[in-house]
Amino acid sequence: MTAPRELVMTINLNALEHLGINLYSNIPAVLSEIVANAWDADAENVTVTIDKATETITIEDDGTGMDRDAVIDRFLTVGFKRRVVLGGKTAKGRSPMGRKGIGKLSIFSIAQIAKVYTIVNGQKTAFKMDREVIREAISGTGQNSYKPEELTDWPSGVKVGTCIVLSQISKSLSGMTVEGLKRRVSRRFAVIGPKNNFNVMVNGNVIGPEDRAYHNALQYLWTFGDQSEFVKLCRNLERPADDRTAAIKSALAAAGLSLTGWIGTVTKPDQLKGEDGENLNRLAVFMRGKMAQEDILDEFGQKEIYADYVIGELHCEQLDLDDESDIATSSRQALKQDDPRFEALRAIVRLELRNVAGRWSEWRRVDGAKAAASVPAVSEWLKNLTGDTKKKAERWIGRLNTIRANDDGDKRELLKASILAFESYRRKDDLDKLDTLQDESVAHILDIFNDINDLELSYYGQIVKLRLGVIKALQEKVAENDKELVIRDFIKKHLWLLDPSWERAKGSEHSETTVNNFLAENTEKLNAKEKKARVDLAYRTAVGKHIIIELKRASVSVHLDDLIKQVRTYRDGVKKIIDGTGQKGWPIEIICLLGKHPPEWFDAVGTGREGVIAGLKNVDARIVLYDELLANAQSAYADYLEEHIKVDKLWGVFEAIDDFTPPPTS
């Protein structure tokens, strides 16, 4: 009896270095290579089992399996030309995905150990491959072969096909979810599902086309070939899918190509950020039902806004014909850019993207105007406009829908700002008419000025509302232990938190820089205890006033004498500086922003509350507590807003915009 052939893996060292054991960088990509091999083996069912406890991944299929000779000649031979040796079709008539027999190396991108069990006609072959042993066997020895370890054990559940068990996984399994893996694998294949009698399961969960999970995000869709089944999955399309098959027929014929698939755009760019960090803002190219290149969109250099909303899948079988040269790069994750077939496809896709860009802009403008007008208050406002102003307002409000924005709140603010802008534009038209009015038209002139007053009122009302939003955010989010660190930056920029009448004086930047340099130098002279109590020291000029803000940590209680000493130093130093500027003679006010009052505040006998106030007043200072700051600011603006609402004619329109919720899509 002839001795069985020895299992041996043959590989040239230069080839291994060129291809790289690290062929892929993530688990879904590696599993996709194994799933593709199962397709080529005519498997009808593939099961993937992720075991986080043992850190193993098992992939089992019910395909044809391999006998010992097939294992040696096909699986263990890197570079096995499957289509040349076995023909262009499988026994079940499938077009095989594999071409060069190097995809198997990808398993070592994620696992050190791979155990393979395969059976055909009752003949079992089992062996183990170790990535580190392979490296050791071929490194520096001149060897070009590696002998896997033959296994005598056999999994009881493996009755047919091939089972691969990956262990000592180098990629983390802890964050991997079944749903996430289903999404990633589903997005790499177009043949998974009952239609092609090819079912793939992950931990008992069947993968289907709906697992791609981006179909319901599509707003507009352009299709090539029969995409009726995919269109049915896209339940939130705002317009019927645009079939482009006839439009590109002649161009495809001239290039000798076929093209099926689709290009779509989503409602918001952030819908193209996958749950696991995958970027879906791409055009993927498929050959034989498997992703060949993840993205070609970047190659077109599209800088227009629409490109941020694009996703698509393009299938071109002429890129992978058996009698043509291989179009894939050695990494197997991209296509050769200078291949004439790819260049021809790219030229056709470029023209289709130009069509998408134009239609997207047009549809978004029209649909955006409809959406805005569906707010009754906005619709009523538009009706009250006339002439050129009305046309421009309708056109501009539609264009808001073509501006990059993920947040509906941002678009609401843009809509409100647009209404204010067009109200200003309308007042300008009225003012231009003043030159044509007769002297007796005084009443009309007064009406125009009253309209301007109303507009000013609306502008300030929105400012107050925004300020209340800032105060509310601080109240809700600032924790006791770090509140002064957050408030510090707000105080510097927003003096109105301390006093609604304070606004930054223009043209004072030079003196502010000089004074702040002095204050910084003074801070360096403080002792360690004083520095620990300090959060920051800031100086700003308001109209007609110099303001110094001394911030102390909320947890620190500062004695009155220490506080007065520091404040006097600041006041006297700043006074010397500003005496040489255009703001000479402006009063100085120093705010001591504290978490708690000085201890002397609570003296029953002695200094007490009045004494603290008087002592600080002598050095032009006063105390503001963090909590009081926010409470007083909120109270002041809330009281104003309560009365403002009664007289602001646009307030109801703005509130309707904020409250509007689009009707749910089916």
Give alpha helix (H) positions in 402-527: 408-432, 442-477, 483-493, 509-524
Q: pLDDT-derived band of residue 456, with 50, 70 and 90 as boundaries?
A: low
How do residues 254-290 score in pLDDT, each as one tens digit?
Answer: 999 999 999 999 988 888 987 777 889 999 999 888 8
**Does a structural domain hold residue 633?**
no
270 and 144 co-located in one domain:
no
Helix axes 408-432, 442-477, angle to 10 degrees: 160
Q: How far apart are CA 648 and CA 462, in angstroms?
A: 10
570 and 486 co-located in one domain:
yes
What CA dihedral angle connects 378, 384, 388 and 392, to 10 degrees?
A: 0
204 and 290 co-located in one domain:
no
Burial 535-570 (b: 16+ CB within 10 A, else e): bbbbbbbbeebbbbbbbbbbeeebebeebbebbeeb
pLDDT of 467 reads: 74
Give the pair of three-digit tokens for residue 584. Answer: 């000479």
Is residue 663 scored above 50 in pLDDT? no
Distance, CA of 212 to chain centre:
18
60 and 18 co-located in one domain:
yes
Q: Which of 209, 235, 251 is the last residue in one of the domains? A: 209
**Does a structural domain hold residue 419?**
no
Domain count for the chain: 3
Q: What is the mean pLDDT of residues 416-426?
A: 69
279-283, 331-335, 578-582: which has the minimum mean pLDDT? 331-335
Residue 422 half-sphere exposure toward CB, CA atoms < 13 A:
23
Q: How far apart are CA 59 and CA 164, in angstroms?
A: 5
Give the pair of three-digit tokens for residue 62. Answer: 């019910």
Q: How far apart are CA 121 and CA 123, in angstroms?
A: 6
With a pLDDT cut of 90, the percent of the chain lying above it is 29
How do residues 506-537 score in pLDDT, each as one tens digit?
Answer: 445 556 677 677 767 776 776 776 666 565 66
614 and 520 co-located in one domain:
yes
Q: What is the mean pLDDT of residues 558-583?
A: 84
Give the best-scoring range by mean pLDDT among 566-570, 612-616, 643-647: 612-616
Burial label, 35 (beta-carbon count in 10 A; 0-12, 13-18, 19+):
buried
Is residue 150 scored above 50 in pLDDT? yes
**Does a structural domain hold residue 606?**
yes
Q: What is the mean pLDDT of residues 336-361?
A: 89
Is residue 323 scored above 70 in pLDDT? no
**Does a structural domain hold residue 176?**
yes
Residue with token string 């003074």 = 522
196 and 222 co-located in one domain:
no
**Does a structural domain hold residue 376?**
no
What values do phi and psi take at 70, rounded to 5? -65, -40
Single-letter amino acid code for the residue at 257 = L
What is the model's pTM? 0.62
Residue with token string 């482009």 = 244
**Does a structural domain hold residue 632?**
no
240 and 192 co-located in one domain:
no
Question: What Å distances lie between residue 558 and 43, 497, 523, 571, CA to CA?
Answer: 78, 23, 16, 18
Q: pLDDT-derived band of residue 578, with 50, 70 and 90 as boundaries?
A: confident
Give the pair of three-digit tokens for residue 101. Answer: 């027999």
Give the pair of three-digit tokens for residue 180. Answer: 């996430």
Residue with token string 């105390």 = 623
Q: Which structural domain range is residue 191 located in?
A: 9-209
pLDDT of 19 reads: 57
Strand order in the sheet with 310-315: 242-243, 218-224, 260-266, 310-315, 283-287, 290-293
Q: Where residue 124 sits, what CATH number does that domain have? A: 3.30.565.10
CA nearest 51: which of 174, 207, 181?
A: 174
Q: Which residues pair with 93 in a beta bridge?
A: none
43 and 90 co-located in one domain:
yes
Q: How far apart are CA 467 and CA 15, in angstroms?
A: 65
Q: How far apart are CA 370 and CA 362, in angstroms?
A: 13
Q: How far apart are CA 492 and CA 554, in angstroms?
A: 17
196 and 218 co-located in one domain:
no
289 and 200 co-located in one domain:
no
105 in helix, strand or coil? helix
CA nearest 159: which of 40, 67, 62, 71?
A: 62
How do residues 629-657 score in pLDDT, each as one tens digit?
Answer: 777 777 777 776 777 677 676 666 767 66
218 and 196 co-located in one domain:
no
Q: Which of 178, 194, 209 is the last residue in one of the domains? A: 209
pLDDT of 464 reads: 72
**Any residues with CB less than 8 A from the CB of 237 and at least 6 apart, and which?**
218, 219, 220, 221, 231
Give the pair of three-digit tokens for residue 446. Answer: 């007064």
The shares of helix, strand and coil residues in the chain, as percent rounded to the nearest 5, are: 50, 20, 35
pLDDT of 42 reads: 93
**Does a structural domain hold residue 405?**
no
499 and 604 co-located in one domain:
yes
Q: What is the mean pLDDT of residues 568-586?
A: 80
Give the pair of three-digit tokens for residue 553. Answer: 């940590």
Rg (CA), the chain: 36
Q: How far apart are CA 30 and CA 28, in angstroms?
A: 5
Give the best-scoring range by mean pLDDT among 58-62, 297-301, 590-594: 58-62
Give alpha helix (H) positions in 50-149: 68-70, 82-86, 131-138
Q: Are 397 and 418 in contact (CB under 8 A)?
A: yes
Burial 136-174 (b: 16+ CB within 10 A, else e): ebbeeeeeeebebeeeeeeeeebebbbbbbbbebeeebe
pLDDT of 544 reads: 74
Query: Is the torsion defined by CA of 498, 530, 570, 486 positive or negative?
Result: negative
How do residues 195-246 score in pLDDT, each as one tens digit?
Answer: 899 999 999 999 988 898 889 899 999 999 999 999 999 999 999 999 999 9
Q: How far apart are CA 572 and CA 576, in angstroms?
A: 6
What integer best gives the mean pLDDT of the chain? 79
Q: Which of 209, 244, 262 is the last residue in one of the domains? A: 209
DSSP β-ladder status, 45-51 and 199-202: parallel
**Does a structural domain hold residue 468?**
no
How do residues 35-94 score in pLDDT, each as one tens digit?
Answer: 999 998 999 999 999 999 999 999 999 999 999 988 888 888 776 665 556 667 888 988
